[in-house]
Amino acid sequence: MFSGSMVALVTPLDEAGEVDYASLASLVEYHIAAGTDAIVAVGTTGESATLTVDEHVKVVMKTLEYAKGRIPVVAGTGANATHEAITFSKLFNGSGVAGCLTVTPYYNKPTQEGLYQHFKAIAESSELPQILYNVPSRTGVDLLPETVARLAEIENIVAIKDATADLSRVQKTRELCGEDFIQLSGDDATGLDFVAAGGHGVISVTANVAAAEMATMYKLALSGQFDAAKEINERLMPLHKELFVESNPIPVKWAAYQLGLIEHGTLRLPLTELSEPAQQVVTEALKDANVLL
Protein backbone atom coordinates (compact mmCIF):
# COMPACT_ATOMS: atom_id res chain seq x y z
CA MET A 1 0.00 0.00 0.00
CA PHE A 2 2.76 2.48 0.99
CA SER A 3 6.24 2.08 -0.49
CA GLY A 4 8.98 3.71 -2.52
CA SER A 5 9.68 7.44 -2.46
CA MET A 6 6.92 9.27 -0.62
CA VAL A 7 7.46 13.01 -0.25
CA ALA A 8 6.91 14.90 3.00
CA LEU A 9 5.58 17.88 1.07
CA VAL A 10 6.33 21.46 2.07
CA THR A 11 3.36 23.81 2.35
CA PRO A 12 4.04 26.86 0.16
CA LEU A 13 3.14 30.25 1.62
CA ASP A 14 2.93 33.63 -0.12
CA GLU A 15 4.71 36.81 0.98
CA ALA A 16 1.92 37.56 3.44
CA GLY A 17 2.22 34.12 5.02
CA GLU A 18 -0.98 32.74 3.56
CA VAL A 19 -1.13 29.35 1.82
CA ASP A 20 -0.09 29.66 -1.83
CA TYR A 21 -2.43 27.24 -3.58
CA ALA A 22 -1.04 27.95 -7.06
CA SER A 23 2.40 26.81 -5.92
CA LEU A 24 0.81 23.81 -4.20
CA ALA A 25 -0.81 22.78 -7.47
CA SER A 26 2.56 23.13 -9.23
CA LEU A 27 4.24 20.96 -6.59
CA VAL A 28 1.69 18.21 -7.10
CA GLU A 29 2.34 18.26 -10.86
CA TYR A 30 6.10 18.20 -10.24
CA HIS A 31 5.82 15.05 -8.14
CA ILE A 32 3.48 13.27 -10.52
CA ALA A 33 5.84 13.98 -13.42
CA ALA A 34 8.85 12.85 -11.39
CA GLY A 35 7.33 9.51 -10.43
CA THR A 36 7.00 10.15 -6.69
CA ASP A 37 5.04 7.24 -5.18
CA ALA A 38 2.86 9.25 -2.76
CA ILE A 39 2.46 12.70 -1.26
CA VAL A 40 2.21 13.30 2.49
CA ALA A 41 0.30 16.57 2.87
CA VAL A 42 0.64 18.69 6.01
CA GLY A 43 3.01 16.45 7.88
CA THR A 44 5.54 18.13 10.12
CA THR A 45 7.62 19.18 7.08
CA GLY A 46 4.41 20.81 5.85
CA GLU A 47 4.44 23.09 8.93
CA SER A 48 1.42 21.42 10.48
CA ALA A 49 2.25 22.98 13.83
CA THR A 50 1.64 26.51 12.56
CA LEU A 51 -1.38 26.00 10.28
CA THR A 52 -4.88 26.52 11.62
CA VAL A 53 -7.25 23.55 11.62
CA ASP A 54 -9.14 25.05 8.67
CA GLU A 55 -5.92 25.62 6.72
CA HIS A 56 -4.67 22.14 7.55
CA VAL A 57 -7.80 20.48 6.22
CA LYS A 58 -8.00 22.74 3.16
CA VAL A 59 -4.37 22.05 2.15
CA VAL A 60 -4.96 18.30 2.32
CA MET A 61 -8.20 18.55 0.36
CA LYS A 62 -6.66 20.85 -2.26
CA THR A 63 -3.74 18.43 -2.63
CA LEU A 64 -6.29 15.69 -3.28
CA GLU A 65 -8.10 17.89 -5.77
CA TYR A 66 -4.91 18.72 -7.66
CA ALA A 67 -3.79 15.08 -7.64
CA LYS A 68 -6.99 13.96 -9.37
CA GLY A 69 -6.36 10.36 -8.40
CA ARG A 70 -3.00 10.24 -10.15
CA ILE A 71 -0.94 9.87 -6.98
CA PRO A 72 -1.94 8.71 -3.48
CA VAL A 73 -2.22 11.45 -0.86
CA VAL A 74 -1.62 10.77 2.82
CA ALA A 75 -2.90 13.30 5.36
CA GLY A 76 -0.80 14.39 8.29
CA THR A 77 -3.05 14.12 11.34
CA GLY A 78 -0.65 14.36 14.27
CA ALA A 79 -1.16 16.41 17.42
CA ASN A 80 0.03 16.24 21.00
CA ALA A 81 -3.56 16.16 22.24
CA THR A 82 -5.27 12.87 21.44
CA HIS A 83 -8.66 14.52 20.94
CA GLU A 84 -7.17 16.89 18.35
CA ALA A 85 -5.55 14.04 16.41
CA ILE A 86 -8.88 12.19 16.50
CA THR A 87 -10.63 15.28 15.12
CA PHE A 88 -8.21 15.44 12.17
CA SER A 89 -8.57 11.72 11.49
CA LYS A 90 -12.37 11.92 11.51
CA LEU A 91 -12.34 14.93 9.18
CA PHE A 92 -10.58 12.90 6.51
CA ASN A 93 -12.87 9.85 6.69
CA GLY A 94 -14.39 9.41 3.25
CA SER A 95 -12.26 12.18 1.76
CA GLY A 96 -10.26 10.04 -0.62
CA VAL A 97 -6.95 10.21 1.23
CA ALA A 98 -4.98 6.98 1.18
CA GLY A 99 -4.23 7.09 4.89
CA CYS A 100 -3.16 9.18 7.87
CA LEU A 101 0.33 9.85 9.22
CA THR A 102 0.30 10.57 12.95
CA VAL A 103 3.38 11.69 14.85
CA THR A 104 4.03 10.75 18.45
CA PRO A 105 2.75 13.45 20.84
CA TYR A 106 5.40 16.13 21.26
CA TYR A 107 6.36 17.82 24.53
CA ASN A 108 4.07 15.82 26.87
CA LYS A 109 6.44 12.80 26.76
CA PRO A 110 3.85 10.08 27.44
CA THR A 111 4.80 6.62 28.67
CA GLN A 112 4.71 3.63 26.32
CA GLU A 113 1.24 2.84 27.65
CA GLY A 114 0.19 6.41 26.95
CA LEU A 115 1.51 6.13 23.39
CA TYR A 116 -0.37 2.88 22.91
CA GLN A 117 -3.63 4.35 24.18
CA HIS A 118 -3.11 7.51 22.07
CA PHE A 119 -2.67 5.67 18.77
CA LYS A 120 -5.32 3.08 19.63
CA ALA A 121 -7.90 5.80 20.23
CA ILE A 122 -7.02 7.51 16.94
CA ALA A 123 -7.20 4.27 14.95
CA GLU A 124 -10.54 3.35 16.46
CA SER A 125 -11.96 6.74 15.45
CA SER A 126 -11.02 6.35 11.81
CA GLU A 127 -11.80 4.09 8.89
CA LEU A 128 -8.47 5.02 7.25
CA PRO A 129 -5.14 3.16 7.26
CA GLN A 130 -2.86 4.62 9.91
CA ILE A 131 0.89 5.23 9.69
CA LEU A 132 2.64 5.72 13.01
CA TYR A 133 5.44 8.31 13.02
CA ASN A 134 8.34 8.04 15.44
CA VAL A 135 10.84 10.94 15.50
CA PRO A 136 12.32 11.17 19.01
CA SER A 137 14.73 13.98 18.09
CA ARG A 138 11.78 16.30 17.51
CA THR A 139 9.16 15.04 19.96
CA GLY A 140 11.17 13.97 23.00
CA VAL A 141 9.58 10.52 23.12
CA ASP A 142 10.50 7.21 21.50
CA LEU A 143 7.86 4.75 20.29
CA LEU A 144 9.56 1.43 21.07
CA PRO A 145 9.25 -1.65 18.82
CA GLU A 146 7.41 -3.56 21.51
CA THR A 147 4.72 -0.85 21.60
CA VAL A 148 4.60 -0.79 17.80
CA ALA A 149 3.94 -4.55 17.93
CA ARG A 150 0.95 -4.03 20.21
CA LEU A 151 -0.38 -1.34 17.92
CA ALA A 152 0.15 -3.47 14.82
CA GLU A 153 -2.50 -5.83 16.15
CA ILE A 154 -5.08 -3.09 15.47
CA GLU A 155 -6.42 -3.73 11.98
CA ASN A 156 -6.02 -0.29 10.44
CA ILE A 157 -2.57 0.48 11.91
CA VAL A 158 -0.57 -0.74 8.95
CA ALA A 159 2.78 1.08 8.92
CA ILE A 160 5.41 3.11 10.72
CA LYS A 161 7.60 5.99 9.62
CA ASP A 162 10.78 5.52 11.64
CA ALA A 163 13.09 8.53 11.85
CA THR A 164 15.40 7.15 14.53
CA ALA A 165 18.15 6.20 12.01
CA ASP A 166 18.52 3.00 14.06
CA LEU A 167 18.72 0.35 11.35
CA SER A 168 18.58 -2.49 13.87
CA ARG A 169 14.92 -1.61 14.42
CA VAL A 170 13.95 -2.81 10.94
CA GLN A 171 14.67 -6.45 11.75
CA LYS A 172 13.31 -6.18 15.28
CA THR A 173 10.07 -4.57 14.11
CA ARG A 174 9.68 -7.22 11.39
CA GLU A 175 10.16 -10.00 13.95
CA LEU A 176 7.59 -8.44 16.30
CA CYS A 177 5.05 -7.19 13.74
CA GLY A 178 5.41 -9.61 10.85
CA GLU A 179 6.34 -9.24 7.19
CA ASP A 180 3.11 -7.46 6.23
CA PHE A 181 3.62 -4.50 8.56
CA ILE A 182 5.01 -1.65 6.41
CA GLN A 183 8.21 0.06 7.52
CA LEU A 184 9.14 3.44 6.05
CA SER A 185 12.27 5.40 6.82
CA GLY A 186 11.93 8.98 8.00
CA ASP A 187 15.66 9.67 7.68
CA ASP A 188 16.95 10.34 4.17
CA ALA A 189 20.61 9.79 5.06
CA THR A 190 19.96 6.17 6.09
CA GLY A 191 16.84 5.54 4.00
CA LEU A 192 18.48 3.36 1.38
CA ASP A 193 20.16 1.24 4.05
CA PHE A 194 16.78 1.00 5.76
CA VAL A 195 15.32 -0.56 2.60
CA ALA A 196 18.33 -2.86 2.24
CA ALA A 197 17.59 -4.06 5.78
CA GLY A 198 14.03 -4.93 4.80
CA GLY A 199 12.14 -1.63 4.83
CA HIS A 200 9.59 -0.68 2.19
CA GLY A 201 10.52 2.91 1.36
CA VAL A 202 10.92 6.42 2.71
CA ILE A 203 8.86 9.49 3.57
CA SER A 204 11.39 11.98 2.33
CA VAL A 205 12.43 15.59 2.77
CA THR A 206 15.01 15.35 -0.03
CA ALA A 207 12.29 14.34 -2.49
CA ASN A 208 10.93 17.90 -2.29
CA VAL A 209 13.86 19.07 -4.43
CA ALA A 210 15.14 15.85 -6.05
CA ALA A 211 11.90 14.04 -6.75
CA ALA A 212 12.89 12.13 -9.89
CA GLU A 213 16.21 11.03 -8.44
CA MET A 214 14.58 9.77 -5.25
CA ALA A 215 11.82 7.98 -7.15
CA THR A 216 14.33 6.25 -9.40
CA MET A 217 16.58 5.31 -6.51
CA TYR A 218 13.84 3.60 -4.54
CA LYS A 219 12.43 1.83 -7.58
CA LEU A 220 15.91 0.41 -8.18
CA ALA A 221 16.34 -0.56 -4.53
CA LEU A 222 12.97 -2.26 -4.24
CA SER A 223 13.74 -4.28 -7.37
CA GLY A 224 17.03 -5.43 -5.85
CA GLN A 225 19.31 -3.17 -7.92
CA PHE A 226 21.19 -1.76 -4.95
CA ASP A 227 24.45 -0.95 -6.74
CA ALA A 228 22.63 1.40 -9.12
CA ALA A 229 20.59 2.82 -6.25
CA LYS A 230 23.75 3.46 -4.23
CA GLU A 231 25.25 5.51 -7.04
CA ILE A 232 22.28 7.88 -6.91
CA ASN A 233 22.29 7.92 -3.12
CA GLU A 234 25.97 8.89 -2.94
CA ARG A 235 25.29 11.85 -5.21
CA LEU A 236 22.30 12.91 -3.09
CA MET A 237 24.02 12.42 0.28
CA PRO A 238 25.05 16.10 0.61
CA LEU A 239 21.37 17.02 0.30
CA HIS A 240 20.26 14.32 2.74
CA LYS A 241 22.57 15.91 5.31
CA GLU A 242 22.57 19.62 4.56
CA LEU A 243 18.81 19.96 4.25
CA PHE A 244 19.01 19.68 8.03
CA VAL A 245 21.73 22.31 8.50
CA GLU A 246 19.00 24.29 10.24
CA SER A 247 15.66 23.06 11.54
CA ASN A 248 13.46 21.31 8.97
CA PRO A 249 11.73 22.64 6.86
CA ILE A 250 13.78 25.85 6.78
CA PRO A 251 16.53 24.59 4.41
CA VAL A 252 14.32 22.51 2.10
CA LYS A 253 11.82 25.32 1.68
CA TRP A 254 14.61 27.74 0.79
CA ALA A 255 16.00 25.19 -1.68
CA ALA A 256 12.57 24.66 -3.28
CA TYR A 257 12.27 28.41 -3.73
CA GLN A 258 15.75 28.66 -5.26
CA LEU A 259 14.85 25.92 -7.71
CA GLY A 260 11.67 27.72 -8.74
CA LEU A 261 9.44 24.97 -7.40
CA ILE A 262 7.50 27.42 -5.21
CA GLU A 263 6.84 31.14 -5.69
CA HIS A 264 8.09 32.19 -2.27
CA GLY A 265 10.13 30.62 0.51
CA THR A 266 8.01 32.09 3.30
CA LEU A 267 7.79 30.36 6.68
CA ARG A 268 5.68 31.14 9.72
CA LEU A 269 7.17 32.16 13.03
CA PRO A 270 8.82 30.79 15.06
CA LEU A 271 10.62 29.51 11.94
CA THR A 272 12.75 32.10 10.14
CA GLU A 273 14.52 32.33 6.79
CA LEU A 274 17.64 30.24 6.24
CA SER A 275 20.71 32.14 7.44
CA GLU A 276 23.24 33.37 4.89
CA PRO A 277 26.01 30.94 5.96
CA ALA A 278 23.55 28.05 5.72
CA GLN A 279 22.38 29.27 2.31
CA GLN A 280 25.90 28.72 1.01
CA VAL A 281 25.95 25.23 2.51
CA VAL A 282 22.65 24.27 0.89
CA THR A 283 23.65 25.81 -2.45
CA GLU A 284 26.81 23.69 -2.50
CA ALA A 285 24.79 20.58 -1.62
CA LEU A 286 22.40 21.29 -4.49
CA LYS A 287 25.36 21.66 -6.86
CA ASP A 288 27.04 18.50 -5.59
CA ALA A 289 23.79 16.58 -6.03
CA ASN A 290 23.42 18.05 -9.54
CA VAL A 291 19.81 19.07 -9.00
CA LEU A 292 20.15 22.81 -9.65
CA LEU A 293 17.73 23.77 -12.43
Condensed to tens digits (0 to 9), the pLDDT of residues 21-54 reads 999 999 999 999 999 999 999 999 999 999 999 9
Are the C-beta atoms of residues 89 and 126 closer than 8 Å to each other? yes
Q: Residue 282: its pLDDT value, please?
A: 97
Q: Residue 198: its pLDDT value, please?
A: 97
CA-to-CA dists, residue 113 to 117, 143, 163, angstroms: 6, 10, 21
Our answer to whether residue 107 is catalytic in this structure is no
For residue 162, the surrounding DSSP H or E stretch is strand 157-162
Residue of 133, 219, 253, 257 marked active site: 133
Helix (H, G, I), strand (E, B) or coil at 101: strand
- Name the stretches of the chain with pLDDT < 50: none
Residue of 161, 218, 219, 257 marked active site: 161
CATH code of the domain made up of 4-232 = 3.20.20.70
**Left (φ > 0), alpha (ψ -120 to 50) or beta: where does 128 sit?**
beta
Tell me the binding residues for pyruvate: 45, 203
Our answer to whether residue 133 is catalytic in this structure is yes
Q: Residue 292: its pLDDT value, please?
A: 73
Domain assignments of the chain as residue spans, ordered by start: 4-232
Residue type, 197: A
Q: Residue 131: its pLDDT value, please?
A: 98
Identify the DSSP state of 207.
Answer: G
Q: Residue 293: its pLDDT value, please?
A: 55
Q: Residue 109: its pLDDT value, please?
A: 95
Q: Residue 1: its pLDDT value, please?
A: 76
Tell me the binding residues: 45, 203
